[in-house]
């Protein structure tokens, strides 16, 4: 996988810095995460402190990926056919475009190296990653695989 410009700041700190959540809300979310586990972004969304899209945009910023909302994105049947539905659902990703030997996908977790490696094998392609929300990806999977 290509190296990305990554900020050393934690997601919670980025959210506070961008005034999406307060330091008090972050502390509360970290306490709940410590008790129940889970990803800090999901905890913050479940508490209603931030929107899923805000978390995805901050994750994209944190790890140097581009954020891509999917609601108005059209994907060809050929591109959808390059990744089986069970793989897309399992890793919460959707193929977007294929040019030559490069497959572009939107993922909720762009740091899932296992998913990217599996995709490289399945699609016999190099993978370019964009970040999108879990909801956008699940809606796209329903829309394109269940047609």
Along the 147 residues of the chain, how does pLDDT read in single tens digits? Answer: 444 556 678 889 999 999 999 999 999 999 999 999 888 998 999 999 999 999 999 988 888 899 999 988 899 999 999 999 999 999 999 999 999 999 999 999 888 899 999 999 999 999 999 999 999 999 999 999 986
**Per-residue pLDDT, 1:** 43
β-partners of residue 121 are: none
Give this prediction's pTM: 0.81
* CA angle (113 as vertex; 9, 91 as ends), nearest 5: 105
Contact 110, 41 (CB under 8 A): no
Look at residue 7 in the predicted model and tell me its pLDDT: 65
Degrees (nearest 5) of the Cα angle 32, 132, 116? Answer: 95
Distance between CA atoms of residues 97 and 75, nearest Å: 7
What per-residue confidence (pLDDT) applies to 132?
A: 94
């Amino acid at each position: 996988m290509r190296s990305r410009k990554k900020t050393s700041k934690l997601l919670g700190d980025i959210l506070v810095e961008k005034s999406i959540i307060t330091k008090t809300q972050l502390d509360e979310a970290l306490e709940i995460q410590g008790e129940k586990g889970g990803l800090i972004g999901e905890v913050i969304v479940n508490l209603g402190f931030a929107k899923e899209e805000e978390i995805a945009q901050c994750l994209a910023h944190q790890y140097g990926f581009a954020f891509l909302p999917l609601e108005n994105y059209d994907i060809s049947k050929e591109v959808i056919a390059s990744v089986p539905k069970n793989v897309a659902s399992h890793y919460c990703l959707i193929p977007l475009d294929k040019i030559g030997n490069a497959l572009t996908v939107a993922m909720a977790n762009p740091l899932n190296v296992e998913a990217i490696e599996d995709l490289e094998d399945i699609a016999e392609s190099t993978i370019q990653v964009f970040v999108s929300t879990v909801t956008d990806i699940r809606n796209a999977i329903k829309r394109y695989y269940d047609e």
